[in-house]
Amino acid sequence: MNVSDDQPPPPPGRSWRSIRQEVKPLAMSRKGRRRQLAAWAKVGALSLFAAGTGWGVYAVAHSWSTDRAALATAVHSELVRDVVLITDGVLTRDWAAGVLALPRPASLMALNLPALRDRLLAHGQVRVAVLTRNFPDTLVVTLQERTPVARVQAADGSGSPRQLLVAKDGVVYDGLNYDKTMLAGLPWLDGIRLVKSGDGFEPVAGMADVSALLSTAQLQAPHLYREWLVVSLARLAERDEIVVKAQDLPEIIFSRKRDFFKQVAQLDYVIDAAHGLEAAPVLQSVNLTLEGQVPVRLQGAPDTLAAAPAAPAFSLQPSQRKPKREF
Amino acid sequence: MSSSRIVAAVEIGTGKIAVLVGEISRGRALNIIGVGVAPSRGVMKGEVVDYRTACEAAHQALEMAEKRAGVRIEEVWLAQSGGHLDAFYNEASVNVKSADNTVTALDIASVCDLAKEKELPAGRSRIHEIRRPFRLDGRAVPDPEHLSGRRLEVGYWIVHGPESKISDNIHVVGGYHLEVRELVLASLATGSLLTSAEERAQGVLVIDIGKGVTDYVLYRDGHVLATGTLPVAGDHLTNDLSIGLRVTHAQAEMLKLRHGRATTLTRDKADKVWLNGDASFGDRQLPKMAIETIAAARTLELLEVVRARLGTAFVAENCGAGVILAGGGAKLPGLEEAASRVFGLPARRGEPPGWVKEELRDPMFSTVLGVFQFGLRTAHEHAVPPRRKTGLLSNLTKLFAVS
């Protein structure tokens, strides 16, 4: 046969390999069906084995990646030789080392950092704690501490009173390493009820407002703040009032609905104005909760006098009189 | 993981089903590890006529072989025989494309594709495509690549058969939940085992006389020149004896085995033999000459048909290695003499090569052993050279690969 190149070749016949070889189970003999079942079982067993092997490999890999002892071996980390403390407060390295209580000897990679962090955070003074491995042998502890805004008196287990500190977020804690003079200048909290929670107390509600008032006073009128002895939150929940007791002024009523800066300014004005009067009245109470006027109560005056029209009520006209302080 | 595989060579014959289990390691090393033989049922003249019964018999042999081997068969190489098989020769030629008339791999691939692209009648499938030597400008060359010439020719001996009947054989194996990976023409398998490369180069005719069919293959110059299958074999001889002597089929088979001959040796008509030989009631004497005459006549007819089917392909002068007789029918005394007379060549019974163990040297295993031999050898002998990439990109790749 001579086939020219431009002629398309005829289609070839089928090869025996294109014959379908599968046989329906009904057409199989019993032995064939048994072999087929055995083959399926084998495939199933192999699949299970493969799945098991895969799971095993995953488990080993997962364990390898999470097991600290294995990691320690893997990276050949050394024993912890130093603990470095970086803090924005007053806590010391020794305190941190004491709280962490690292086992000796402890490999750096073998340390359970989340557990150590929880130990630090168990102390109320610590707001944020970050622990970092600094290879090869240093554990770096970075802390952000709470700042106390007030003090509170509580009874310990034996019934004797002890001084606790309250932070801006209401957390009540034992203060450590604070300057005693600074602590003595903090006002006491009153009108609150401490609720036990674990080893400590539940956070005090409303401390954000108290902190705002105290920091405003501390910054803008430190001469007034120094005189403040007690801050009462007794009326805060019901009437939104914070009552401050100062050394020479038994009751100063602030409202958390009004701007504290304005209220402190008004208080300063009222006190200055009272001192400027020839009669030199002694103030018993200053109410700063009202807009436009500040009712005051003077020492020796009958209670009804304060409500009478003739009772002194300082109208707020700062422009008529030169203020002693610029706010 | 082991690189060996467990392969079963299976022959679903008319008289018996033979299974050999072999372990093939490193692609070519064969170790026979199991044997299974069962009397065939549901098969007539090499064709499955009763699927259930054929399955039972085949699966019995497969199970026996598996048990003896102690392993699980992974794949099957199946010997294919039967009167339904046919073959034809087709050749093609191409002009060598390159300007300097050097034959390239592309020319070889083109001419091979053309020679194989002969459309078959509907419903038939190819079993073998056996390549004959290339001819370059009329001279035979084993590998024409890089030789110079103008015209390249090649021919293929294409063996094919009806898809339905081939499927039946495959499905008998599939019923045992096994896959047929190779299908080998029984005559090629037997010829591959019983002939040496030297004999094939000299030219040799192999005739495998089974119970239901007779397969033959003619080699010349080391290549297959013709193959064929006749639906006439030992069973027909038995049948002739049964009719001619008026005995039962079983008695005729017994007489054939005991007294049958392919040539008439007895001259005395009075020489008689007992039918059963056990002096039982109904036993009678039959003339031995009649038995020999019937058997010889049928045998000669069978051999004449083979010669006639070979036609012009058979030239005694080109068949230097003579005729080799195989199969159960080859046990018939005087067959060599009869074959020599018909073909005008020396004839002998085929003997398996020396590596075959004693228990497998029986002619019934010739085909299944040959299936292994042919299957392992054919991939290398008859493989068409792979088509190579050509063009600018391929050349650039080669350039960079060299540098």
Residue A246 domain-assigned (yes or no):
yes
- With 0-12 / 13-18 / 19 or more C-beta atoms within 10 angstroms meaning exposed / middle / buried, residue A284 is middle
Do A219 and A137 share a structural domain? no
Number of domains in chain A: 3
Angle formed at CA A53 by CA A52 and CA A57, multiple of 5 degrees: 115
Q: Which of B176, B181, B184 to mutate to test the interface with A (most CBs of A within 10 A)?
A: B176
How far B270 CA lies from chain A's nearest CA (Å)? Answer: 53
User: Does the pLDDT at position A1 exceed 80?
Assistant: no
Chain B residues whose beta carbon lies within 8 Å of the beta carbon of residue A42: none
Do A213 and A170 share a structural domain? yes
Q: What is the pLDDT of residue B268?
A: 75
- With 0-12 / 13-18 / 19 or more C-beta atoms within 10 angstroms meaning exposed / middle / buried, residue A184 is exposed
Domain with A117 in it = 76-145
Do A302 and A155 share a structural domain? yes
What is the location of CATH 3.30.1490 in chain B? 88-158
Asked if A19 is an interface residue toward chain B (Cβ–Cβ < 8 A), one would say yes
pLDDT band, residue A9 (cuts 50/70/90): very low
Chain B residues whose beta carbon lies within 8 Å of the beta carbon of residue A18: 125
- Residue A234 to residues A226, A230, A258, A287, B253: CA-CA distances in angstroms? 22, 12, 18, 16, 125
Token representation of residue B7: 């392969």
How far apart are the C-alpha atoms of B318 and B219, rounded to whole Å?
9
Do A290 and A164 share a structural domain? yes
Do A273 and A153 share a structural domain? yes
User: pLDDT 10s digit of each residue in chain B, 403 long?
Assistant: 457 889 999 999 988 999 999 998 876 788 899 999 999 999 988 889 999 999 999 999 999 999 999 999 999 999 998 888 999 999 999 999 888 989 999 999 999 999 988 888 888 899 989 999 999 999 989 899 999 999 999 999 999 999 999 999 999 999 999 999 999 999 999 999 999 999 999 999 999 999 889 999 999 988 999 999 998 888 888 999 999 888 888 888 888 888 888 888 877 777 888 777 776 777 788 888 888 899 999 999 999 999 999 999 999 999 999 999 998 888 899 999 999 999 999 999 999 998 888 888 888 899 999 999 888 876 544 444 444 444 444 454 444 443 3
Token representation of residue B6: 């467990």
What is this structure's pTM? 0.59
Answer yes or no: do A19 and B94 touch at CB < 8 A: no
Do A140 and A62 share a structural domain? no
How far apart are the C-alpha atoms of B382 and B132, rounded to whole Å?
9
CATH 3.40.50 fits B88-158, yes or no: no
Answer yes or no: do A13 and B176 touch at CB < 8 A: no
Q: What is the pLDDT of residue A214?
A: 93
Do A314 and A166 share a structural domain? yes
How far apart are the C-alpha atoms of A172 and A149, rounded to whole Å?
10
The last residue of one of the domains, among A125, A145, A165, is A145
- What would the pLDDT profile of A244-287 be if each residue is shown by its tens digit? 999 989 999 999 999 999 999 999 989 988 888 877 788 899 99
CATH label of the domain that carries residue A260: 3.40.50.11690
Q: Which fold has domain B1-87+159-195+353-403?
A: Nucleotidyltransferase; domain 5 (3.30.420)
- What would the pLDDT profile of A51-92 be if each residue is shown by its tens digit? 999 999 999 888 877 766 666 555 666 788 888 999 999 999
How far apart are the C-alpha atoms of A175 and A160, rounded to whole Å?
17
Q: Which CATH class is domain B234-300?
A: alpha beta
Token representation of residue B338: 């009869």
Residue B203, classed as helix, strand or coil, is coil
Residue A22 domain-assigned (yes or no):
no
Chain B residues whose beta carbon lies within 8 Å of the beta carbon of residue A36: 177
- Where does B49-102 have alpha helices with state H? 51-69
Residue A280 bridge partners (DSSP): none
Residue A15 domain-assigned (yes or no):
no
Residue A20 domain-assigned (yes or no):
no
